[in-house]
Every structure is written in structure tokens, then in C-alpha cells.
Amino acid sequence: MTHLWVRAEQRENEERVGLTPEGCAALIAQGIRVTVEDSSVRAIPIGGYRAAGAEIAPENSWPDAPVDAIIFGLKELPEDGTPLPHRHIMFGHAYKGQPAGQDLLRRFRAAGGTLYDLEYLVNEDGRRVAAFGYWAGFAGAAVTLTAWAAQQRGGICGPVGVHAGRDALVSSLTQEMAATGAECPRAIVIGALGRVGTGASDLCEAVGVQVTRWDMAETASGGPFPQVLAHEVFLNCILAQPGCPVFVPADAKTAPRKLTAIGDIACDPTSDFSPVKVYDRTTTWAEPVLRVQDDPVLDVMAIDNLPSMLPVESSQDYAAQLLPSLLTLGDPDSGVWGRAKATFDDHIARL
């Protein structure tokens, strides 16, 4: 029997989950055994999973799960170097040359485990079957505009946290921007036709920010793109990959510009393919932006778990997208799982 083990998230400020109680019930009805770890932070209470028929395990007990269990989480595992014998479903951030990702792959190789990277679960046409992109874009645009508002007050963006929902976030941000007394900034969104860009554009419109929408056609020339520097806010919503143009070069910090706030929502600063070259590390909920230039000011927002600021809505949305694929776990050698395994095997061979 296929055994799916839903682990508790161990990443700070991470309340999301990739399976709802309703999805859990559907998997059990399909003949899949489901274990769900208790969690002190998960936005969806454990009681719903128990009522759906899942077995409940102690928080963070997944290392002792049966070796044939498939461990399902979202964000990174603790970087403790331990070998990984299980099959894991998660965002590995391991296939674009990231140093931590290479260490993760070595841990799988050491114990014979497998990574089914959620970013690389794709259909026959190569399109991802599930993504948090919309809510990443929505929340990322909100934090970037919060940073812009802080600049108008002569400060820097303070800590951010979880919001009760979309409407609460929009209301709070609208009031904060209005309180600055400044004219609304103009934002340029690159990747505007995708999930991330749609979410970012929707947030901007909800708070009255004028949006310039760019996608592949507008960036096909390969750059440079002085139009980015002519907007007060830039929201990067394009996943770093080979051939991606540079939207903000390193010399933009000292170039003439109106740009003061960058939201690198698809943040991957340690990748060789990053299109934003003015910073080198992700930011956190406690310190949401990096001030990369003081005169004129330039702040970069690069939080890599943005959807967790709206954990219930983003979890429900993502889990609904992913469930049809989870229902096929009984045949892990074909379909989306077989393709993900082939991608993993290819990168293991390159180590």
C-alpha cells in the first residue's frame, strides 16, 4: 500500500500545508495510507485530518517513518547533513546550482532516497501541475509596497507577519500607503501573464497602484531595460532559468533611476540565472528588505515563503491543484512522478 507521510514544517514562519483534510479523505478512499504529523504551527488544525481517517504522528517524527513511506512537505529540511533514505516530495531548490541544493542532493545520494521536487512536477506539456505563484505574487507585491511606504516616511520596512486573509491585507496596506501622503508609485511587473505576475498585478490594482505589465514579448530583446528604472517599484515574477535576461544589472544601484523598491518575488539570488543582480541573499519576515543603496535609496524584498503570509487561502488553493497528482501516487514510476524522478536522476548523475 502506498503510504504518504505529511510532515510538519520546520522552517520558521511556515504555516502552510500541501494537503487539506478533504484531500486526505480522497486519498484514503483511493486506498492510500495517510499519516499526518501533529504541528504546532500548521494553519489547518489537526482535527480535520483525524476526522478524515489519517493516522496522526508526533511532530517532526518523519526521520523514523517506515522507509517505504513517501515524506511530503513544502519547505526545506533541516540542514544537518543526515543521509536521506526516503522518497521526499518538497521544494528542493536544488537544480540551479544553489550550494545548499547540491548538499541536499548529496544527502539523497548517500542513502538512496529520491526527491520529487514540487517545482518540477509537470504535465506532458512541461507545465507545472500546481504552484503557489498567485499568492506569492499577491503577498510579495504587498510587502514591496509596504517597503515603499516606509521609504516615504524616511525609514525601512519593519517585520511582517501572517494576515487573516486577502481582504484584511488589502485594507491594511491601503491605509498604510494613504497615511504617507505621497502619490501612489507606478509599478512594472515582469512575468505579468503568469500566476505570480497575476497575483502581483491584482494586489497593485487593489490598492490603487498603476501597473505596467510585461511578459515574454516585452523582454525578448534581452535588454537592457531602462523602463524598469523609470518605475518606482519593480516586481520580478519570472523564474530564474538559463537564458533569462538581466532586468536589474549591478550598476543600477548608482544609475539615474526612479526605482526605489524591488520585489524579487521569484527570488533565487544564489542562482547563476538570477535576473536581479543588485543583491545576493534572501530576506526574512523579521527583516523583509535589504537596503542595497542609500543615495538614492534602493531596497530589495526577497522573501522565499511569501504565500505563508496568507496560509489558509494559499494552502487550500495549492492543495486543490496538487490533489489529482497525489491520487496517482500508487504508480510513482509514470506520469508526473516518473518525470520528476527522471529530473532527479539527471541531477544526481551530474554531482
Residues 6+ apart with CB under 8 A from 285: 12, 13, 159, 160, 161, 303
CA distance 60 to 290: 32
Largest CA distance in the chain: 62
- Tell whether 215 is in a known binding site: yes
What residue has cell string 489537526?
Answer: 46
Classified as helix, coil or strand, 24 is helix
Q: Which sign, positive or negative, has the C-alpha torsion 62, 325, 48, 165? A: positive
- Tell whether 56 is in a known binding site: no
Say if residue 224 is exposed, middle or buried (CB neighbours under 10 Å; 0-12, 13-18, 19+).
middle
- Tell whether 304 is in a known binding site: yes
The residues assigned a catalytic role are: 75, 93
- Tell whether 42 is in a known binding site: no
- Tell whether 194 is in a known binding site: yes
- Tell whether 303 is in a known binding site: yes
Four-point Cα dihedral 225, 229, 231, 235, nearest 10: 70
Output the 3-class SS for 270-291: CCCCCCECCCCCCECCCCCEEE
Please check whether residue 156 is in contact with residue 204, taking contact to mean a CB–CB distance below 8 angstroms.
no
SS3 content of the chain, % helix, strand, coil (to 5): 35, 15, 45
- Tell whether 11 is in a known binding site: no
- Tell whether 101 is in a known binding site: no
CA 106 to chain centre: 23
Say if residue 308 is exposed, middle or buried (CB neighbours under 10 Å; 0-12, 13-18, 19+).
buried
- Tell whether 333 is in a known binding site: no
User: Which residues are annotated as part of the binding site?
Assistant: 127, 194-195, 215, 219, 303-306
User: Which residues are annotated as part of the binding site for NAD(+)?
Assistant: 127, 194-195, 215, 219, 303-306
